[in-house]
């Protein structure tokens, strides 16, 4: 078995297998470029090992930077064979990007054992049928690279190639992916390349410190090395470091068969301050992002790459050939921030329908699906934030108002152009702010079964399960009705247009009901109500404002030649389309 490590400033290197009675070492031979390697007889899968590097100050113990399996972040590396995992043949094909409905999940808190401790891949896998029934077809895992301790958000990877041991290690992740694929669900993983560690960071001063760079060969020195997450920004200017991160991305996509990557805080990869000021640009960081995206496009172009850039920078989702970073999509920071503000305002008069209209129309790189839209995420629901129902009603997050307006927000997420995303527990009105050591309250699926059904119905319409709402998967959008006086908006979605394609969404952001609210529609005939969030079946406190199928009138409205009158409840959304 071959062992190989990059340590250009070491005078010597060897591999140690502590299980041997006298801990014999196998010396590694020097290679060009600062690499050391050797074929070690008798080494087998499951063996524990570490490297010993000979430095000026004496020998130091180091873990293998590319080990996919470790005892823990301060333990030994474990010899692992990716080819040994028996992947089942399930005939999996990744869903089209226009069909994706993403569910962000933190493995440690999603479904931990009732006896205590952190959640595992096996525990999360047990809930995949639940997510499949809900209509989810893409799970986004928060980072699972080995981190310090057993409980963490995951954004402090100490060993980027290793799968967190507390979650079950590499085979358990592969089993999770295989189970998701068997249900037709994609798995997307968060990766962290803007910093590493900082705790239990075995790459720090890996083969000693260098002048101006206390972190050594893997890291920039100050001030460029500083980030808000730790002073451990990788040195993207070194080709070996860029290759290391590129190979990490490839490993997740190819060895673990993941279907996409979401890149954490890309602003801090491409810019010292994480913003758009060109004075702080890091050209080599931008180059790294381009190289990874070019790799994915060349090797597995059907897989998705998403940037959490949060700066509204259109260049992030432009093609690399034109100077962009090449991401397929990026999180939309304005959508989550502004829509939550609109939903949370206690006074209806303070809600701006112009803001809502702008959020629906927003797109990056002139592509409708180049953004991820959401009202809840791990960041939005933590770091001083809270869940949407609690933001609406801090004392009673399960009140009528909290349920009404949070589900109205969900209706906008699942009908606006973009890739919609939910955060774990959002679908059953979880109100506890996100914390890595606070498990989801699954009893709320029984407390709020109607809210869960509402999300299920919305997701199925978004995915056009019934061949009646194809337009929700299309790029076409026109916000044709903006009534800021009464706080109502309506918008038209379409793909090719026509029956079962054209969709009209009507949303009421005020505490007032209508027997027949008039809006324009693009085609004559009968418009059928596919969804009415005011239905009492979703919650007994909902008013049940009748919203019947509507026949068009000859009168024009909203710049369209036809109009209909639709029943509309307070803080409610209605979705309509035609059969023929």
- Tell me: the pLDDT tens digits for 143-193? 999 999 999 999 999 999 999 999 999 999 999 999 999 999 999 999 999
Question: Which tokens is 218 given?
Answer: 């893997």
Quote the pLDDT of residue 351: 98
Task: List the one residue out of 324, 252, 246 whose CA is nearest residue 292.
Answer: 246
144 near 154, Cβ under 8 Å? yes
pLDDT at 20 exceeding the cut of 70: no
Quote the pLDDT of residue 106: 98
Mean pLDDT value of segment 16-36: 86
Quote the pLDDT of residue 483: 98
pLDDT at 23 exceeding the cut of 70: no
Query: What's the mean per-residue pLDDT of the chain?
Result: 96
- As a three-state string, the secondary structure of 354-379 is HHHHHHHHCCECCECCCEEECCCCCC
Mean pLDDT value of segment 354-359: 98
pLDDT at 475 exceeding the cut of 80: yes
pLDDT digits (tens, 9 = 90+) for 295-327: 999 999 999 999 999 999 999 999 999 999 999
Residue partners of 539: CB distance under 8 A and separation at least 6? 403, 448, 450, 451
Mean pLDDT value of segment 70-95: 96
Quote the pLDDT of residue 122: 98
Angle at CA 28, nearest 5°, toward 26 and 32? 175
């Amino acid at each position: 078995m071959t062992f190989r490590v990059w340590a250009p400033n070491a005078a010597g290197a060897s591999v140690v297998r502590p299980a041997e009675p006298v801990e014999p070492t196998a010396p590694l031979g020097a290679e060009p470029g600062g690499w050391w390697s050797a074929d070690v007889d008798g080494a087998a899968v499951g063996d524990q090992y570490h490297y010993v590097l000979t430095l000026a100050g004496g020998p130091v113990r180091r873990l293998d930077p590319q080990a996919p399996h470790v005892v823990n972040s301060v333990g030994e590396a474990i010899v692992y064979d990716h080819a040994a995992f028996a992947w089942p043949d399930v005939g999996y094909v990744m869903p089209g990007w226009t069909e994706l409905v993403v569910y962000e999940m933190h493995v440690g808190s999603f479904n931990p054992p009732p006896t205590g401790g952190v959640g595992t891949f096996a525990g999360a896998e047990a809930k995949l049928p639940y997510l499949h029934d809900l209509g989810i077809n893409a799970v986004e895992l928060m980072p699972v690279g080995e981190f310090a301790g057993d409980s963490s958000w995951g954004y402090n990877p100490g060993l980027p190639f290793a799968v967190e041991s507390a979650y079950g290690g590499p085979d358990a992740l592969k089993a999770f992916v295989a189970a998701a694929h068997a249900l037709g669900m994609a798995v997307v993983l968060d990766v962290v390349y803007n910093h590493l560690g900082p705790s239990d960071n075995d790459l720090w001063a890996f083969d000693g410190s260098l002048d101006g760079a206390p972190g050594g060969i893997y890291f920039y020195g100050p001030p460029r090395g500083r980030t808000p997450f730790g002073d451990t920004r990788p040195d993207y200017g070194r080709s070996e470091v860029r290759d290391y991160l590129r190979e990490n991305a490839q490993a997740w996509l190819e060895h673990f068969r993941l279907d996409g990557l979401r890149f954490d805080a890309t602003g801090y990869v491409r810019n010292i301050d994480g913003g758009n000021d060109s004075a702080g640009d890091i050209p080599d960081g931008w180059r790294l992002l381009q190289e990874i995206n070019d790799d994915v496009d060349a090797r597995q172009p059907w897989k998705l790459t998403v940037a959490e850039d949060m700066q509204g920078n259109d260049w992030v989702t432009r093609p690399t050939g034109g100077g962009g970073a090449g991401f397929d999509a990026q999180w939309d920071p304005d959508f989550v921030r502004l829509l939550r503000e609109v939903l949370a305002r206690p006074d209806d008069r303070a809600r701006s329908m112009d803001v809502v209209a702008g959020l629906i129309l927003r797109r990056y790189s002139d592509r409708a699906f180049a953004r991820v839209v959401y009202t809840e995420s791990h960041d939005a629901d933590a770091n001083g934030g809270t869940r949407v129902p609690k933001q609406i009603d801090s004392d009673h997050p399960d009140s009528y108002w909290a349920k009404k307006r949070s589900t109205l927000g969900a209706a906008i997420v699942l009908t606006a152009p973009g890739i919609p995303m939910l955060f774990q527990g959002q679908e059953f009105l979880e109100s506890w702010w996100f914390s890595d050591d606070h498990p989801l309250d699954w009893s709320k699926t029984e407390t709020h079964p109607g809210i869960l059904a509402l999300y299920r119905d919305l997701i199925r319409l978004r995915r056009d399960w019934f061949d009646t709402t194809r337009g929700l998967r299309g790029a076409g959008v026109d916000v044709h009705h903006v009534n800021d006086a009464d706080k109502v908006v309506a918008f038209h979605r379409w793909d090719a247009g026509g029956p079962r394609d054209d969709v009209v969404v009507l949303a009421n952001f005020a505490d007032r009901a209508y027997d027949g609210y008039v809006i324009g529609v693009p085609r004559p005939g009968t418009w059928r109500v596919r969804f009415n969030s005011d239905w009492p079946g979703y919650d007994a406190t909902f008013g049940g404002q009748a919203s019947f199928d509507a026949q068009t009138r000859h009168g024009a409205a909203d710049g369209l030649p036809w109009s209909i009158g639709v029943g509309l409840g307070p803080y409610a959304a209605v979705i309509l389309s035609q059969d023929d």
